């Protein structure tokens, strides 16, 4: 019976993680000319493989703090990297002089505030936190 409870608890946790992942959306400023973006385009921007939005406008990614559940969900789904893989990825690029990781902000509220004020910024927040100051460009 105890094994069954543990099993059910594990299933509930995994379902909760999937639901949290589905609630993270990618945003740009409401003033931005950027429309929808693909998962690959967003991944390229956040992994430093592309410095522009489609159309050539500069794209500046903003990450949430390391260890945040939204960051883990975003990167797991969009870039396909865990926190440890992401850290290793950026360490190699920084060491070789080939890249700089996105600016990190402490929470989603700070990300939304900065992205809303700058049409070149791109970030991610919980779907429920999106309002008229930002535009959702990808809802995975």
pLDDT of residue 35: 92
Confidence (pLDDT) at 14: 46
| Contact status, residue 116 vs residue 133, Cβ threshold 8 Å | yes
- In the chain, the number of structural domains is 1
Phi-psi region of 7 (alpha: psi -120 to 50; beta: other; left: phi over 0): alpha
Q: Residue 118's pLDDT is what?
A: 97
pLDDT given for residue 2 in this prediction: 53
Instruction: Quote the pLDDT of residue 140.
Output: 78
Query: pLDDT tens digit string along 66-86?
Result: 999 999 999 999 999 999 999
Other residues' Cβ atoms within 10 Å of the Cβ of residue 50: 16
Which pLDDT tens digit goes with each residue over 23-68? 999 999 999 999 999 999 999 999 999 999 998 999 999 999 999 9
Range of the domain at 91: 2-138
What's 41's domain CATH number?
3.40.190.10
pTM: 0.83
């Amino acid at each position: 019976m105890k094994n069954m409870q543990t099993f059910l608890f594990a299933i509930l946790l995994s379902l909760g993680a999937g639901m949290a992942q589905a609630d993270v959306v990618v945003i740009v400023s409401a003033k931005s000319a950027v429309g929808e973006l693909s998962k690959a385009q967003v991944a390229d921007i956040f992994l430093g493989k592309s410095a522009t939005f489609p159309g050539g406008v500069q794209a500046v990614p903003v990450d949430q703090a390391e260890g945040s559940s939204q960051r883990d969900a975003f990167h797991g789904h969009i870039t396909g990297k865990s926190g440890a893989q992401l850290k290793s990825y950026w360490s190699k690029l920084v060491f070789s002089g080939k890249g700089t990781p996105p600016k990190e902000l402490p929470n989603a509220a700070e990300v939304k505030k900065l992205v809303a004020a700058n049409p070149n910024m791109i970030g991610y927040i919980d779907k429920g936190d999106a309002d008229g100051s930002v535009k959702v460009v990808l809802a995975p």
